[in-house]
Amino acid sequence: MPSAVVAPSLLAADHGDFAGGIRTIEEAGLGWVHLDIMDGHFVPNISFGPQVIAALRPRTKLHFDVHLMLTHPDRFVAAFAQAGAERLTVHVEADHDVATTLAAIKAAGLQAGIAMNPDTDPRRLLPYLDDVDLALCMTVFPGFGGQAFMPAVLESIRFLTAERTRRGAGFRLEVDGGINTETGCLCRQAGADTFVAGTAFFKAPDRRAFAQSLTA
Ligand code: DX5
Ligand code: ZN
């Protein structure tokens, strides 16, 4: 199982000061930032695009964990690669040939992830698990920060954990949505190792201690 990582979501930062949000993550001693890209079509919200990522790239060495909530993620692989993403995660439910998109992400030199919504059967991820560096279980319906964690997803996390062990695979298991110390611990017990936290991270009185509560 990969070492535990906390990836704060910039969606919960001040959108007028993303550079400040990046500094806040660095000051907490963390190495990753989660970047939520929404197209107003795959999800009912719009966030920001590759231009914002390109503008942040020279300001930080943080690992850019980019979550594409797009109907046609295949059309944007090159743009996000050029913008400086290290990792692109695409949804299995989106309108694309998943295997082709994952291959394009890797051909661009990036790490590839596959994401599923809370109500998706985790077996839909099985054909791709040998080709990804990360599997993302959404623990809320994507689109907005600040929603309540859905405990039913723990079953999918356990399923993917068992499958990872069975294959001897090394992909990360990421959870995203409503993650705080309590729900993060439940996910960790189920096998998750990569924790996206937006609201709970940026609102934490001691962000370093909050992150350590998920990784220690
Ligand atoms: C939801 C996004 C999440 C979200 C997490 O669509 O994918 O990354 O920002 O935010 P919190 O931690 O506030 O649920
Ligand atoms: Zn996300």
Residue-by-residue DSSP string for 113-125:
EEEE-TTS-GGGG
Task: Report how far ligand 1's centroid is from the alpha carbon of 215 (Å).
Answer: 19
Closest ligand 1 atom to 197 CA: 12
Closest ligand 1 atom to 146 CA: 13
User: What is residue 103's predicted lDDT score, i.e. its pLDDT?
Assistant: 98
Task: Report how far ligand 1's centroid is from the alpha carbon of 173 (Å).
Answer: 16
Query: Which of 8, 2, 7, 30 has its CA nearest to residue 192?
Result: 2
Ligand 1 within 6 A of 35 CB? Answer: no
User: What is residue 127's predicted lDDT score, i.e. its pLDDT?
Assistant: 98
Which token pair is 125?
Answer: 């991820």
What single letter denotes the amino acid at residue 154?
A: L
Task: Report how far ligand 2's centroid is from the alpha carbon of 113 (Å).
Answer: 12
Going 118 to 122 to 128 to 129, the CA torsion angle's sign is positive
Q: How far apart are CA 72 and CA 91, in angstroms?
A: 10
What is the count of structural domains for the chain?
Answer: 1
Closest ligand 1 atom to 34 CA: 8
Ligand 1 within 6 A of 39 CB? Answer: no
Domain boundaries, position 33: 5-215
Buried/exposed 5-27: b ≥16 CB within 10 Å, e otherwise: bbbbbbbbbeeeebeebbebbee
User: What is residue 153's predicted lDDT score, i.e. its pLDDT?
Assistant: 98
This prediction has a pTM of: 0.98
User: What is residue 47's predicted lDDT score, i.e. its pLDDT?
Assistant: 98
11: Cα separation from own chain's centroid? 12
pLDDT (tens place) for every residue of the chain, 216 residues total: 889 999 999 999 999 999 999 999 999 999 999 999 999 999 999 999 999 999 999 999 999 999 999 999 999 999 999 999 999 999 999 999 999 999 999 999 999 999 999 999 999 999 999 999 999 999 999 999 999 999 999 999 999 999 999 999 999 999 999 999 999 999 999 999 999 999 999 999 999 999 999 998
Phi, psi of 140 (to 5 degrees): -145, 165
User: What is residue 216's predicted lDDT score, i.e. its pLDDT?
Assistant: 87
Query: Which of 144, 87, 139 has its CA nearest to residue 114?
Result: 87
Which residues have a Cβ under 8 Å from the Cβ of 61 and sit 6 or more positions away?
none
Phi, psi of 60 (to 5 degrees): -155, 155
Take atom 4 of ligand 1 and give the residue whose Cα is closest: 145
Task: Report how far ligand 1's centroid is from the alpha carbon of 183 (Å).
Answer: 13
- Which residues are near ligand 2, the ion (C-beta closer than 5 Å)? 36, 67, 176
User: What is residue 199's predicted lDDT score, i.e. its pLDDT?
Assistant: 98
User: What is residue 46's predicted lDDT score, i.e. its pLDDT?
Assistant: 98
Ligand 1 within 6 A of 184 CB? Answer: no
**What's the CATH number where 173 sits?**
3.20.20.70
User: What is residue 1's predicted lDDT score, i.e. its pLDDT?
Assistant: 82
